[in-house]
Amino acid sequence: SAVISQKPSRDICQRGTSLTIQCQVDSQVTMMFWYRQQPGQSLTLIATANQGSEATYESGFVIDKFPISRPNLTFSTLTVSNLSPEDSSIYLCSIEGRNFYGYTFGSGTRLTVV
């Protein structure tokens, strides 16, 4: 299956600042997905990122708060803007696996906002 490199693995940020998370895939993929996992909770899809078009956001998530870039078929970034303690979560990127056996996830970014 494809390998996803996600960084940073963790960060502690001041409220009001922003954090940009990067995902690099070792092969070209059409769609990349960004998820949020709040403490003790399940995963919720933030947005779907296609190369060459604007990301599609799920209900409750807006571009101003979670801008996404997808400059090519192997890379994407998620920025969490104007941080507040409520943004403290694990953020994960994901891609469709080869031959569509399932979805592969990055190792996650643990964000703590203080």
The least CB distance from residue 29 to another protein, in Å, is 12
Q: What's the rounded Cα separation, in Å, for the pair 26 and 19?
A: 23
* Long-range pairs of 60-67 with CB within 8 A, sequence gap ≥ 24: 66/34
Nearer to another protein, 83 or 91 (CB): 91
48: contact with another protein by CB under 8 A: yes
Site string for another protein, 3-42 (x = CB under 8 A): ----------------------------x-x---x---xx
Q: Which of 66, 70, 94, 95 binds another protein (CB under 8 A)?
A: 94
**68-87 residues near another protein, rule: CB under 8 A:** none
Q: How many whole angstroms separate alpha carbon 80 and alpha carbon 7?
A: 14
| Nearest Cα to Cα of residue 35 among 114, 97, 105, 93 | 93
